A = this chain, B = another copy of it.
Amino acid sequence: MAEMTGVLSRYRRAGDYLAATMIHLKDNFLLQAPLRPEHLKPRPLGHWGTCPGLTMVYAGLNRLVAETGQRTLLITGPGHGAPAIHANLWLEGTHAEYDPLLSRDGRGLAELVKRFSWPGGFPSHLSPEVPGVIHEGGELGYALSTAFGAAFDDPGLMVACVIGDGEAETGPTAAAWHSPKFTGRGDGRVLPVLHLNGYKIASPTIYEAMSDDELVAYFTGCGWSPILVDVRDAEEPDTLLAEALTQAHGRDTGPPPMIVLQNTKGSGLPSTSPDGIPLEGTFHSHQVPFPGAKDDPAELTALEAWLRSYRPEELFDDNGVPAADILAVPPAPGLRLGRVPQANGGLLRRDLPLPDVGKYAVAVGEPGGTDASAPEVLAEWLAEIVRLAPDTFRVVCPDELQSNKLGALLGATRRQFDRDVPGYTEHLGERGRVHEVLSEHLCQGWLQGYLLTGRHGLFPCYEAFVSIVDSMVNQYAKFLKMADEVSWRVPVASLNYLLTSDGWRQEHNGYSHQGPGFINQMLTKKATTSRIYLPPDANTLLETMHRCLGSTGLINVVVAGKQSGPQWLSPGEARAHCRAGAAVWPWASTTDGPADVVLAAAGTTPTVEILAAARLLREVAPELRVRVVNVVDLLALCPPDRHPHGLSDEAFIGCFGEETPVVFAFHGYPSAVHEVLHGRNRANRFHVHGYLEEGTTTTPFDLLAGNRMTRHDLAADAVRRAPGWASAGGDLARDLIQRRDALLTRSYQDGQDPPEITEWRWRT
């Protein structure tokens, strides 16, 4: 052990030295000359505090992997400790393999150190540019759930996951500690290392305020077998950690092991700065230890003394090549943490076997002549995927699979929940393709880890509550965007959302369950990343989901109602409609020439209402020339120079004319349509009806009325907007609204919508 400790200690000195220089130096990297201000970066940026701990873990894992051959993926929660990870990637030779400029010699060392936090260089955090990385760690909270996602269905893999004690304060991390209950025998193992160095940016952490007994109790309660490793005053910290890692790795019965690494923040620094500010072991070591060194001679002296305390001349030869014993620490190339293929999951991804949707499609004779629940139809197709891909496809859902009408999936698989729960259960088992947990954060984190390591998945969710993961999606979209710019990254399968149980038909629930804002959220993303679909019926949902599950590198948001309702398009029509993105529905229109008004819709409920409005208009204004347009791909409305799905001007005019007023019934907030139309000519002629944040527990028709989107509101708007209909239109509109109100009165009396609404079906 002592020998190992000696080598690992030297290895760590090299890693820490490199990390320290990355933050501070732009020259004289080996300190072969006295340190002078011109050797320092003009803007020293980065985070030192967590670096020594990260290298300690990296070194320990190197030893374990070299000794055991354990395939290991490392997820670094404290992504701002990037200098440490870069140092290790350089020492193990991975950096040089991805970029010859980062060779393991003085030239490569110079390039590495200078490139860090330099314009055009490496960012200050981990990011997709960095080999071995599937987790950025800038926004905190998602390392542990990502680690579990990476481990699912990869039984030989160990995912080591470092979690800072700052990150551990977040809710998503706190929830993720329960993940072992959702892990089964066919899955890999996750080895969490809580890096308890006591401080976040400016304060002690929650975990620092817990006694050892409380730490053990907490993690035991979560179902772990915690191993406390206190290296703060240890003579041989590497030995302590090595023992813990070996113990953890060897244990394969009982509660899974996790490690609490009790460490000194920013260890290696002097105890105080020249100004007397405490450094090592305090939050003052969090970022740049000597930010003023370029201008303050005392700081410069202290910085030089600190850097020289690592004795770089003992670690690197005069040419900057690390000593042989240090180079011998990392495992064989195929096992290096930076080279594990799971960290570039696109390499491992195989196309998901997607059954032809034809077999699952609904037979639709005349439009509106058949009823179905689109998710119910989809679920049978998904069940077949599960049968065809028993270990590369997972569905995560916040306890809503059946509520979202996807229960048929459970005919082909189970909910994975690896505990002998007492009492009555259904469809629960130690292996299963479905994960149900009442935490959107966990669903998202697990799925991210699963996708980024080369697999496929689907996240069905109540539409209103998917906003819980807004910020995770922000970060994931950034990861995809950056990954797309890295030549060696191979695209991973898209992240697919099926948002259903939407606010228009949430009968058991009320205002809190109404929220279509995720669409707006997605509209802030790069056009290379985001897709938004609103299939109006089952066959369009099948076509849409087929497209999404076959795609890579995207975030696909599919919004579709779950309640049984009229079906509009035959399988062939659905395919054509989805290819077009937006198209005229001639059978619903009263003209194939110029129209007085366009009635357009996007979304399940809006499509019903716009068609009902078209029917109303045939009755009350038969001479009005109406064109009905349906939009399944919201981004088709964007000008083509803003989004690759944007309809050509010609196709757009084919749908909406050039000056024709458009009454648009939209599933979400009207602002989303305003936004996608921006840049189209005469966008002000689009009169968008949508969700106006008016709602409660009430009937579907009353909810539409509160948001001015009943068929009557839409028809009334149409006659008001149609050119030349000014006077007649006003009277007609008033009549329509009166008809609406009479129906509402009956709804209030009867506690349900009248049959005129509930039993209404399209008839040509």
**8 Å CB interface, A398-439 against B:** 399-403, 415, 417, 419, 421-426, 428, 436-439
Is A468 touching B139 in the complex (CB atoms < 8 A)? yes
Report the minimum CB–CB distance from A584 to chain B (whole Å): 26
**8 Å CB interface, A457-481 against B:** 464-465, 467-468, 470-471, 474-475, 477-478, 481
Residue of B nearest to A482 (CB): B511
Residues in chain B near residue A206, CB distance under 8 A = 178, 181, 437
Is B223 touching A512 in the complex (CB atoms < 8 A)? no
Is A640 located at the chain interface by the 8 A CB criterion? no
Q: Chain A interface: which size bin?
A: 35 or more
Residues in chain B near residue A169, CB distance under 8 A = 175, 178, 437-439, 442
Is A605 located at the chain interface by the 8 A CB criterion? no
Residues in chain B near residue A137, CB distance under 8 A = 512
Is A494 located at the chain interface by the 8 A CB criterion? no
Residues in chain B near residue A751, CB distance under 8 A = 26, 41-43, 118-119
For A167, give its contact among B208, B219, B438 (CB under 8 Å).
Answer: B438
Is A526 located at the chain interface by the 8 A CB criterion? yes
**8 Å CB interface, A264-309 against B:** 278, 281-283, 287-288
Is A693 touching B478 in the complex (CB atoms < 8 A)? yes
For A415, give its contact among B26, B203, B282 (CB under 8 Å).
Answer: B203
Is A220 located at the chain interface by the 8 A CB criterion? yes
Is A517 located at the chain interface by the 8 A CB criterion? yes
**8 Å CB interface, A520-574 against B:** 520-521, 523-526
Is B119 touching A509 in the complex (CB atoms < 8 A)? no
Main SS at interface, chain A:
loop
Is A170 located at the chain interface by the 8 A CB criterion? yes
Is B438 touching A140 in the complex (CB atoms < 8 A)? yes
Is A455 located at the chain interface by the 8 A CB criterion? no
Is A697 touching B221 in the complex (CB atoms < 8 A)? no
Report the minimum CB–CB distance from A496 to chain B (whole Å): 20
Report the minimum CB–CB distance from A429 to chain B (whole Å): 12
Is B424 touching A278 in the complex (CB atoms < 8 A)? yes
Report the minimum CB–CB distance from A116 to chain B (whole Å): 9
Residues in chain B near residue A424, CB distance under 8 A = 278, 281-283
For A200, give its contact among B208, B438, B750 (CB under 8 Å).
Answer: B438
By CB atoms of chain B within 10 A, which of A136, A175, A288 has the most?
A: A175
Once the chains are docked, how many angstroms separate the CA of A513 from the CA of B46? Answer: 14
Known pairs A169-B439, A175-B171, A437-B206; A752 contacts B42 (CB<8 A): yes
Is A184 located at the chain interface by the 8 A CB criterion? no
Is A124 located at the chain interface by the 8 A CB criterion? yes
Is A747 located at the chain interface by the 8 A CB criterion? yes
Once the chains are docked, how many angstroms separate the CA of A467 from the CA of B79? Answer: 19
Residue of B nearest to A140 (CB): B438
Is A674 located at the chain interface by the 8 A CB criterion? yes
Report the minimum CB–CB distance from A440 to chain B (whole Å): 8
Known pairs A136-B512, A282-B424; A438 contacts B171 (CB<8 A): no
Is A201 located at the chain interface by the 8 A CB criterion? yes
Once the chains are docked, how many angstroms separate the CA of A423 from the CA of B203? Answer: 11
Residues in chain B near residue A702, CB distance under 8 A = 119-120
Known pairs A220-B217, A223-B210, A425-B204; A478 contacts B171 (CB<8 A): no
For A214, give its contact among B120, B221, B693 (CB under 8 Å).
Answer: B221
Report the minimum CB–CB distance from A407 to chain B (whole Å): 9
Is A170 touching B399 in the complex (CB atoms < 8 A)? no
Once the chains are docked, how many angstroms separate the CA of A509 from the CA of B43? Answer: 12
Is A222 located at the chain interface by the 8 A CB criterion? yes
Is A710 located at the chain interface by the 8 A CB criterion? no
Is A123 located at the chain interface by the 8 A CB criterion? yes
Residues in chain B near residue A747, CB distance under 8 A = 119
Known pairs A45-B697, A119-B747; A203 contacts B417 (CB<8 A): yes
Report the minimum CB–CB distance from A37 to chain B (whole Å): 13
Is A698 located at the chain interface by the 8 A CB criterion? yes
For A173, give its contact among B171, B176, B216 (CB under 8 Å).
Answer: B171
Is B671 touching A403 in the complex (CB atoms < 8 A)? no
For A425, give its contact among B47, B178, B181, B203 (CB under 8 Å).
Answer: B203
Known pairs A171-B170, A171-B442, A209-B417; A748 contacts B508 (CB<8 A): no
Residues in chain B near residue A217, CB distance under 8 A = 217-218, 220-221
- Interface residues as binary, A113-156 with B (CB distance below 8 Å gives 1, 0 otherwise): 00001111011110100000000111111000000000000000
Known pairs A478-B512, A481-B693; A464 contacts B139 (CB<8 A): yes
The 6 A-B pairs with the shortest beta carbon distances in the complex, nearest first, are A138-B512, A218-B221, A171-B171, A174-B174, A217-B221, A123-B510
Can you name 13 A-B residue pairings with CB atoms under 8 Å?
Answer: A119-B698, A125-B509, A137-B512, A169-B437, A169-B438, A171-B173, A171-B175, A204-B423, A216-B221, A217-B221, A468-B470, A478-B693, A674-B678
Given contacts A79-B512, A139-B464, A470-B470, 16 further A-B contacts (CB under 8 A): A80-B508, A120-B702, A124-B510, A169-B439, A171-B441, A174-B175, A181-B206, A200-B438, A201-B403, A203-B428, A218-B222, A220-B221, A467-B471, A482-B696, A520-B520, A675-B675
